Amino acid sequence: MSVSARPRRIDLIGIATASGASVRGCGMGPESLRVAGLVEALIDLGHRVADHGDLRRPRPDVSTHPSSGRAPEQRKADVLDLAARTSEAGMTILSEGCLPVFLGGDHSIAMGSVSAVARHCGDERPVHVMWIDAHADYNTPLTSPTGNLHGMPLALLCGEPGFDDSFAGPWLGRIDPRNVTIFGARSIDRDERKLLQSRGVDVVDMRKIDQLGVVALMQKLLERVKTAGAHMHVSLDLDAMDPSIAPGGGTLVPGGLSYREAHLIMEMLHDSGSVGSLDVVELNPFLDHGGQSATLLVDLAASLFGRSIMGEEPGPMEFTTEA
């Protein structure tokens, strides 16, 4: 079921967590997207929408320590608990023929969302992941300079070694790294870069975008997905955009996508009819400026789901002739 095919229903599910990140606040992201009008925007486009609320980590014991100061093992347990629950919830949505939109939360939620898609498609249909992000998120526990799990989901999903048995389970789906496109990258760690090159991950960095432009690069990607008949999962990280238009993230990197570049990507994805699931992640309303970033993400999601400048339906036309 694709975006252009007008799915029977778009199902929203929030994963309200910052346990995979180093900065507190993006656990409030799902509700901020709702406040910014995400549901109303989708309904206005003619879609049916169901909102399943938020998955949250188990409530911790009360203490004087902030969430970001919790022990790494506790934060890891939170991430993996939510990944398993997200994977199951996503499988249910997909099995009902609906299109899941996973609202983050930090980017570690993709461990569960992409797993759901991979498990649902199985051997019957290839999965292509478009990772729109300033970072590659392809570190492992052995290569990560920080140990933050929001920098590791793609490596886990692609089967990289270095993850212990706690990361395994029936909830975990696998994807082929050769079917991953990282779009908008501009901050990649040294060992991470080596892994990406050796595994054949397609990295469209900002230099390529500057040189060749969004249209040519997107056309190449979309043709590849269409030829394969793949289900495309889009994972949209706020920090793919330039901080001047999207200040509400915890890992901002200068030199990102412009407003029109980002919308053009979404519009071309919609026109392709290949998108079957979506992540919207790393919105931190505590760092945002008056809802600027939340509104941008809602507008980008609307473009992905069919909003256009002129709309799709022609209005009444009247012609007059002068004698």
**Assigned token pair, 208:** 């390529």
Cα–Cα distance between 21 and 8 in angstroms, integer? 34
Task: Point out the catalytic residue in the list 106, 192, 237, 288.
Answer: 237
What is the pLDDT at residue 144? 97
In this structure, how many other beta carbons lie within 10 angstroms of the beta carbon of residue 85? 17
Bridge partners of 100, per DSSP, are 11
Nearest to 80 by CA among 13, 165, 12, 178: 165
- Position 321 scores a pLDDT of 42
Active site residue 106: no
* Catalytic member of 11, 78, 106, 137: 137
Please confirm, yes or no, whether 288 is among the known catalytic residues. no
Is 47 a residue of the active site? Answer: no
**Contacts for 42-48 with beta carbons within 8 Å, 24 or more apart?**
42/10, 42/301, 42/302, 42/305, 45/302, 45/305, 45/306, 45/307, 46/6, 46/306, 47/6, 47/7, 47/9, 47/10, 47/305, 47/306, 48/8, 48/9, 48/10
Tell me how far apart the alpha carbons of residues 182 and 59 are, in angstroms, rounded to a whole number: 34
Which of 112, 156, 121, 114 lies closest to 137 in space, CA to CA?
A: 156
pLDDT of 311 = 72
Nearest to 281 by CA among 7, 1, 6, 14: 14
In the chain, the percentage of residues whose pLDDT exceeds 90 is: 88
Q: How far is CA 124 from CA 70, 210, 229, in A?
A: 41, 37, 10
- The low-confidence residues of the chain, meaning pLDDT below 70, are 1-7, 59-69, 312-323
The whole-model pTM stands at 0.93
Q: What is the pLDDT of residue 58?
A: 75
What pLDDT does 309 receive? 79
Q: Is 133 a catalytic residue?
A: yes
Could you confirm whether 52 is annotated as catalytic?
no
Question: Per the structure block, which two tokens stand in for 134?
Answer: 């300033």
Q: 192, 202, 239, 288: which is the annotated catalytic residue?
A: 239
DSSP conformational letter for 230 = P
Residues 218, 308: Cα–Cα separation, whole Å: 18
Q: What is the pLDDT of residues 200-216, one digit of tens each?
A: 999 999 999 999 999 99
pLDDT confidence of residue 5: 58
Which tokens belong to 127? 């999965």
171 in Cβ contact with 83 (< 8 Å): yes
Other C-beta atoms closer than 10 Å to the C-beta of 75 total 24
Question: What would the 3-class secondary structure string for 133-198 be?
Answer: CCECCCCCCCCCCCCCHHHCHHHHHCCCCCCCHHHCCCCCCCCCHHHEEEEEECECCHHHHHHHHH
Please report which helix (H) or strand (E) contains residue 244, including its range.
Answer: none
Radius of gyration of the chain (CA): 19
Verify whether residue 150 is a known catalytic residue: yes
Pairing of strands 49-56, 180-185: unpaired
| Gap between the Cα atoms of 274 and 211, Å rounded | 26
Q: Which one from 47, 120, 128, 150 is the annotated catalytic residue?
A: 150
Helix-, strand-, coil-residue percentages of the chain, each rounded to 5: 40, 15, 40
User: Which of the residues 11, 54, 78, 133 is marked catalytic?
Assistant: 133
pLDDT for 238-284, tens place per residue? 999 999 999 999 999 999 999 999 999 999 999 999 999 999 999 99
Selected catalytic residue, list 47, 120, 135, 263: 135
> Does the active-site annotation cover 11?
no
Catalytic residue among 11, 106, 107, 288: 107
Catalytic one of 78, 106, 282, 288: 282
Beta bridge partners of residue 99, listed in sequence order: 10
Q: What pLDDT, on the 0 to 100 scale, is given for residue 7? A: 59
Q: Quick check: is 231 catalytic?
A: no
